Amino acid sequence: MNRAYKEVQQITVAVDCLIFGFNDGKLELLLVHRGFEPERDRWSLIGGFVLNEEDLDEAAHRVLSDLTGLDDVYMEQVRTFGKAHRDPYERVLSVTYSALVLKKDYNDELVKSYQAEWFPIDGLPELIFDHKDMVDSAMQRLRRRIKSGPVGFNLLPKKFTLPQLQKLYEAILGEEIDKRNFRKKLNSMDFLVKLDEKDKSESKKGAYLYELDEEKYNHIKNFNI
């Protein structure tokens, strides 16, 4: 390894954010509409370039905030796309980040004002470059993550109902889950606290609200749904 740094080719580095939103039992993805060349009028992930003095993670948060107004989103790096000609205009390396949020926690108007828009995950428009591959790889990861680790909780509202939680899992996994088995498993892991409140927004009977026992939640050994 010859560290003649200055003689080495430098590359433009971007971050692309995959913001999955959950709302009304459906999983959606946040995209931005390109009102400029190149690739005008097509849809793309939320992306931008990494600045000089910026950590990669910071760049992802800044880009997301700049393009959608969303702050304080918990994101994880997914993978890096680096084919030499993935962007036909100029070489750009892209590191992808993924997050899952509850749409209703965020201001829909704000998002709209940034020309960003939610699309159902199974009805995405055509995307630029290799962004579809990015979606696929992030979805794959999300499915794995949510099954085998406490994820999908960093993103829940403080209080939530079990039917809501179950629908979230169903939307991500793309399959139905048995109510009783689902509850049984959650109960056995013992990190949910049942509250005395009910949420009646989604049914007449109303569903009990739960919250996390943070302490227990952070020390789960065998999470598995």
Partner DNA sequence: CCAAAAGTGTTGACGATACACCCATGT
Partner DNA sequence: ACATGGGTGTATCGTCAACACTTTTGG
> 41, 71, 72, 84: which one contacts a second copy (CB under 8 A)?
84
Asked if 95 is part of the footprint of a second copy (rule: CB under 8 A), the reply reads: yes
Q: In the window 15-34, what residues touch DNA (CB under 7 A)? A: none
Q: Which does 113 bind (CB under 5 to 8 A by kind): DNA, a second copy, none?
A: none
CB-nearer residue toward DNA: 68 or 166: 166
> 43, 47, 70, 151: which one contacts a second copy (CB under 8 A)?
47
> 200, 213, 214, 220: which one contacts DNA (CB under 7 A)?
200
Asked if 161 is part of the footprint of DNA (rule: CB under 7 A), the reply reads: yes
Of 75-83, 89-97, 131-139, 180-188, the window that binds DNA (rule: CB under 7 A) is 180-188
Q: Least CB distance from residue 208 to a second copy, whole Å?
A: 34
Q: Among candidates 222, 87, 80, 100, which has minimal Cα distance to 172?
A: 100
List CB contacts of 169: < 8 A, sequence separation 6 or more: 146, 152, 177, 182, 225
In this structure, how many other beta carbons lie within 10 angstroms of the beta carbon of residue 52? 4
Q: Among candidates 202, 141, 121, which has minimal Cα distance to 166?
A: 202
CB-nearer residue toward DNA: 112 or 184: 184
Q: Which does 89 bind (CB under 5 to 8 A by kind): a second copy, DNA, none?
A: a second copy
Q: Which does 184 bind (CB under 5 to 8 A by kind): DNA, a second copy, none?
A: DNA
DSSP class per residue in 65-97: HHHH---S---EEEEEE--TTSSSSS-EEEEEE
Exposed, middle or buried, 174 (CB in 10 Å: 0-12/13-18/19+)?
exposed
> 89, 190, 203, 218: which one contacts a second copy (CB under 8 A)?
89
Instruction: Report long-range pairs for 34-41 (Cβ below 8 Å, ≥24 apart).
Output: 34/128, 35/115, 38/89, 39/128
